[in-house]
């Protein structure tokens, strides 16, 4: 068995695939710009007042029920060759926050689009580079929202396709629409093993997380001490060699709640609390969204624990994406109860792995009548068949503050942060 690094004790989404079919890709294919002609760009190398030559800004409240911020031209500021979409904690337009957004005066059609930008450096922010037909669509065609990236701090990249024309009514009376969403966590890992320098004795153990989005937990293991180290989390063949207290007969398992609807058409998307500790890596507990997600194990008799291990995320098991994980957890704490209080064993924050508010990255989309191809730092990650988005559209950049912890908890940390856009470019395919 592989020995682990030892640390001290103090250490919707309902996926409707109605109008669109998708294939996820994560390979070595890169965008080859020599095959494209640069048709239009904005490098933001001008004064702030010149922004209005190419872009229009919202000035007023935001009608979207999930957005907490009104948006104003004052919050879109060009400085030193960068467009900053600012966030401010101020009551304006009937909302308690303000942010900025812009959309292009001209419309675009098929081609390759890319932008280089940083996220606002706080949970709760939605840093978007997207398409929406502000000019309207011809009669009989679909109004498509294409999100090249709805970025969530610290390093979550969301690609979405929404069909806002063909809506339908759910049994609860809510009007919904077809959408196709993938939450990419390019940096991070599915397996976490916390080997303790000194074993602990407890009757209670829990994992807490404010990670944006749902947690996908396929296995949570609590091992007795082992002098030979602990196995690879993803190697299920080694698990029988150790005592796993998650499978003990006297364990009681509770969570903050399982997702109340299937995550996708995949049978593995059915979520139940017990799936996190059933000894099977092909089942999953999927949490609801929200600020305070947790799992907790309680035992009737005290256990001596040497390591905690878990597998998280959504594993794609077929096609070109085989072996790739998405929806990885971005933040957590693990604690045990000493009989009087909860004590932290370890914590994890993926901002220490990759911080997109400190790092510029490029987000690209190739769009034609057949496919959408999504790129991250020029590398192809996702291909989706285009079954309905054929009309011209405008390009938008927007910073929003989202309710319901969709992008993580909203706090005063947001105040003064900004989405910083270095440039945006549009290419057409060479003959």
- Please identify which residue in the block is written with the tokens 């998280």: 312
Per-residue pLDDT, 80: 98
CA dihedral of 285, 288, 290, 294, whole degrees rounded to 10? -30
> What DSSP element (H or E) covers 204?
strand 191-209
Q: What is the mean pLDDT of residues 329-341?
A: 96
Per-residue pLDDT, 173: 77
37 by Cβ neighbours in 10 Å (0-12 / 13-18 / 19+) ranks as: middle
Percentage of the chain beyond pLDDT 90 is 71
User: Higher confidence at residue 97 or residue 259?
Assistant: 97
8 Å CB contact between 79 and 54: no
Instruction: With cut-offs at 50, 70 and 90, classify the pLDDT of residue 20.
Output: very low
Residue 151, helix vs strand vs coil: strand
CA 311 to mean position of chain CA atoms: 17
Per-residue pLDDT, 14: 26
User: Higher confidence at residue 181 or residue 160?
Assistant: 160
The answer on pLDDT for 409 being more than 60 is yes
Pairwise CA distance, residues 11 & 324, whole Å: 29
Pairwise CA distance, residues 376 & 115, whole Å: 10
Q: What is the mean pLDDT of residues 78-98?
A: 98
Per-residue pLDDT, 166: 85
Pairwise CA distance, residues 251 & 333, whole Å: 21
Per-residue pLDDT, 261: 64
The answer on pLDDT for 416 being more than 60 is yes
DSSP class of residue 288? P
Q: Which of 20-24, 216-220, 230-234, 313-317 has the highest mean pLDDT?
A: 216-220
Pairwise CA distance, residues 63 & 125, whole Å: 17
Q: What is the mean pLDDT of residues 173-184?
A: 79
The answer on pLDDT for 240 being more than 80 is no
Count CB-CB contacts under 10 A for residue 118.
22
The answer on pLDDT for 337 being more than 90 is yes
Per-residue pLDDT, 262: 59
Instruction: With cut-offs at 50, 70 and 90, classify the pLDDT of residue 13.
Output: very low
8 Å CB contact between 41 and 426: yes
Read off the pLDDT of residues 223-236 as tens digits, 9 standing for 90 and up: 999 998 898 988 87
The answer on pLDDT for 1 being more than 80 is no
The answer on pLDDT for 289 being more than 90 is no
Q: What is the mean pLDDT of residues 205-226?
A: 92
The answer on pLDDT for 260 being more than 80 is no
Q: What are 415's two structure tokens? A: 């105040």
- Region class of 317: left (phi > 0), else alpha (psi between -120 and 50), else beta: alpha
Read off the pLDDT of residues 186-203 as tens digits, 9 standing for 90 and up: 888 999 999 999 999 999
The answer on pLDDT for 127 being more than 80 is yes
Per-residue pLDDT, 168: 79
Count CB-CB contacts under 10 A for residue 310.
25
8 Å CB contact between 180 and 15: yes
Q: What is the mean pLDDT of residues 353-373?
A: 97
The dihedral sign for the CA sequence 58, 59, 63, 68: positive
Reported pTM? 0.85
Q: Please choose, from the candidates 234, 213, 230, the residue with its C-alpha nearest in 3D space to the C-alpha of residue 222.
A: 230
The answer on pLDDT for 136 being more than 70 is yes
**Exposure b/e, 126-163, CB count within 10 A at least 16 = b:** bbbbbbbbeeebeeeebbbbbbbbbbbbbbbbbbbbbb
Query: Euclidean distance between the first and final Cα of the chain, in Å?
Result: 56
Q: Which residues contact 136 (CB under 8 A, 6 or more apart)?
A: none
Q: What are 86's two structure tokens? A: 């600012």
Q: What is the mean pLDDT of residues 359-379?
A: 97
The dihedral sign for the CA sequence 92, 212, 12, 387: positive
CA 105 to mean position of chain CA atoms: 29
Q: What is the mean pLDDT of residues 280-307?
A: 92
Q: What are 316's two structure tokens? A: 């794609």
**Range name among 217-221, 313-317, 419-423 with the lowest pLDDT average:** 313-317
Instruction: With cut-offs at 50, 70 and 90, classify the pLDDT of residue 40.
Output: very high
Q: What are 349's two structure tokens? A: 């924050």
Per-residue pLDDT, 167: 77
**Range name among 74-78, 310-314, 355-359, 397-401 with the lowest pLDDT average:** 310-314
The answer on pLDDT for 42 being more than 80 is yes
Read off the pLDDT of residues 167-177 as tens digits, 9 standing for 90 and up: 777 777 777 77
Per-residue pLDDT, 169: 78
Instruction: With cut-offs at 50, 70 and 90, classify the pLDDT of residue 263.
Output: low
Percentage of the chain beyond pLDDT 70 is 89
DSSP class of residue 4? P
What is the chain's mean pLDDT, rounded?
88
Q: Which residues contact 159 (CB under 8 A, 6 or more apart)?
A: 147, 148, 149, 150, 181, 182, 184, 374, 381, 382
Instruction: With cut-offs at 50, 70 and 90, classify the pLDDT of residue 315.
Output: confident
Q: Which residues contact 317 (CB under 8 A, 6 or more apart)?
A: none
Pairwise CA distance, residues 302 & 364, whole Å: 53
Per-residue pLDDT, 305: 98
Domains belonging to the chain, first-starting first, are: 31-185+356-429 (2.60.120.200), 188-352 (no CATH)
């Amino acid at each position: 068995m592989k020995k682990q690094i030892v640390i001290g004790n103090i250490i919707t989404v309902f996926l409707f695939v109605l109008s669109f079919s998708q294939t996820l890709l994560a390979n070595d294919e890169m965008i080859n710009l020599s095959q494209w002609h640069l048709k239009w760009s904005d490098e933001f190398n001008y004064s702030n007042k010149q922004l209005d030559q190419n872009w229009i800004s919202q000035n007023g409240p935001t009608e979207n029920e999930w957005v907490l911020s009104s948006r104003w031209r004052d919050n879109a500021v060009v400085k030193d060759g960068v467009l900053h979409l600012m966030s401010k904690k101020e009551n304006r337009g009937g909302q308690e926050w303000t942010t900025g957004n812009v959309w292009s005066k001209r419309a675009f059609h098929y081609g390759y689009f890319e932008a280089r930008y940083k996220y606002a450096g706080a949970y709760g922010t939605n840093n978007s580079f997207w398409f929406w037909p502000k000019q309207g669509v011809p009669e009989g065609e679909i109004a498509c929202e294409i999100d090249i990236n709805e970025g969530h701090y610290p390093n979550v990249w969301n690609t979405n396709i929404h069909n806002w024309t063909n809506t339908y009514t759910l049994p609860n009376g809510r009007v919904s629409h077809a959408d196709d969403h993938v939450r990419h966590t390019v940096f991070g890992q599915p397996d976490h093993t916390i080997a303790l320098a000194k074993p602990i004795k407890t009757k209670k153990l829990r994992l807490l997380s404010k990670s944006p989005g749902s947690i996908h937990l396929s296995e949570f293991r609590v091992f007795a001490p082992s002098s030979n180290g602990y196995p690879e989390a993803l190697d299920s063949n080694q698990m029988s060699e150790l005592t796993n207290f998650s499978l003990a007969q006297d364990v009681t398992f509770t969570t903050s709640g399982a997702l109340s609807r299937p995550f996708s058409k995949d049978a593995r998307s059915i979520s139940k609390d017990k799936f996190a500790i059933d000894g099977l890596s092909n089942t999953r507990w999927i949490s609801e969204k929200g600020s305070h997600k947790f799992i907790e194990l309680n035992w009737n008799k005290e256990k001596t624990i040497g390591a905690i291990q878990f597998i998280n995320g959504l594993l794609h098991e077929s096609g070109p994406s085989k072996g790739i994980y998405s929806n990885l957890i971005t933040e957590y704490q693990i604690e045990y109860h000493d009989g009087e209080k909860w004590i932290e064993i370890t914590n994890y924050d993926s901002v220490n792995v990759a911080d997109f508010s400190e790092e510029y990255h490029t987000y690209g989309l190739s769009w034609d009548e057949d496919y959408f191809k999504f790129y991250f730092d020029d590398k192809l990650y996702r291909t989706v068949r285009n079954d309905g988005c054929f009309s011209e559209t405008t390009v938008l950049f927007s910073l929003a503050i989202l309710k319901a912890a969709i992008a993580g908890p909203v706090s005063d940390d947001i105040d003064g942060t900004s989405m910083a856009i270095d440039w945006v470019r549009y290419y057409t395919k060479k003959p």
